[in-house]
């Protein structure tokens, strides 16, 4: 696996070097050396890349990252926070400080079959969140320059999906869910 992939992944997800170093469990100096090809990645760093970014099949090719959208999955620590929602907010602050635009999303499963057909024609693609939400899983649309991400929290798990180009960020479908953009939130670092 080429070390240039680390820089590509970090850029595509809009992650700072300090956040990427934290994810890979290395210091920023070591990450800079890896990204500049001054040192080779250790087996531990390669394993962490495969674990967090689900890139098991990508070996020794820069074009492999062009084949699909990136997904990042990792556990977040909640021990130092009063509640799980505070952990979500602090994670968003750490990963996506200004100038990121962060929007709360409503998320519902896309209906298949006749129910989806009627929704398409009679609901004008509007999302009926209250009646269809089965569990609370905060989702956010995170935008900066040409990076567009969906950030999902499920209990102590953080999942970030890279989005391709969308016709509209107001309402869109992705990965079997229908999303509607709601309020913009301001994330301020303390």
Q: Summarize the confidence of residues 26-33 as an average pLDDT.
A: 95
Residue 73, SS3? strand
At residue 54, the pLDDT reads: 75
Are 32 and 17 in contact by the 8 Å Cβ rule? The answer is yes
At residue 22, the pLDDT reads: 94
Q: What is the DSSP track for 135-188?
A: S---EEEEEETTEEEEEEEETTEEEEEE----S-SSEEEETTEEEEEEEEE---
- What are the residue boundaries of the structural domains of the chain, listed by start? 4-67, 84-185
| Position with higher pLDDT, 117 vs 47 | 47
pLDDT surpassing 60 at residue 185: yes
At residue 122, the pLDDT reads: 45
| Position with higher pLDDT, 146 vs 170 | 170
Facing residues of 151 across strands?
Answer: 140, 160
At residue 17, the pLDDT reads: 94
Q: Summarize the confidence of residues 182-189 as an average pLDDT.
A: 78
C-alpha 82/C-alpha 74 separation (Å) is: 20
Q: Does domain 4-67 have CATH number 1.10.260?
A: yes
pLDDT single digits (tens) 96-116: 887 888 999 988 887 766 555
pLDDT surpassing 50 at residue 64: no
Kind plus residue range of the DSSP H or E element containing 107: strand 101-109
At residue 43, the pLDDT reads: 92
Residue 23: pLDDT band with limits 50, 70, 90? very high
At residue 96, the pLDDT reads: 87
User: Which residues, 6+ apart, have CB-to-CB distance to 22 below 8 Å?
Assistant: none
Q: CB count, 10 Å around CB of 40?
A: 13
pLDDT surpassing 60 at residue 58: no
Angle made by CA atoms 30, 35, 40, in degrees to the nearest 5 = 70
Are 97 and 187 in contact by the 8 Å Cβ rule? The answer is yes
| 16-20, 52-56, 144-148, 177-181, range with the lowest pLDDT | 52-56
Are 72 and 53 in contact by the 8 Å Cβ rule? The answer is yes
At residue 27, the pLDDT reads: 96
Mean pLDDT over each residue of the chain, to the nearest integer: 79
Omega into 46 within 30° of 0, i.e. cis?
no
Q: Summarize the confidence of residues 76-85 as an average pLDDT.
A: 86
């Amino acid at each position: 696996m080429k070390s240039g992939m680390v820089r590509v992944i970090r850029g595509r997800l809009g992650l700072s070097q300090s956040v990427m170093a934290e994810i890979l469990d290395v210091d920023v100096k070591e990450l800079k050396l890896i990204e500049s090809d001054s040192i080779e990645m250790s087996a531990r760093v390669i394993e962490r890349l495969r674990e967090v970014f689900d890139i098991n099949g990508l070996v020794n090719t820069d074009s492999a990252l062009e084949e699909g959208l990136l997904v990042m999955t990792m556990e977040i620590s909640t021990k130092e926070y009063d509640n799980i929602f505070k952990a979500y907010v602090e994670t968003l602050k750490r990963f996506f400080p200004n100038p990121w635009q962060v929007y709360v999303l409503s998320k519902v499963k896309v209906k298949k079959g006749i129910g989806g057909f009627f929704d398409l024609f009679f609901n004008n693609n509007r999302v009926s969140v209250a009646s269809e939400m089965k569990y609370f899983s905060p989702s956010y649309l995170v935008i900066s320059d040409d990076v567009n991400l969906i950030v999902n929290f499920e209990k102590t798990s953080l999942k970030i999906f890279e989005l391709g180009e969308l016709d509209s960020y107001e309402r869109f479908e992705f990965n079997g869910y229908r999303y509607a953009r709601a309020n913009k939130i301001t994330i301020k670092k303390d």
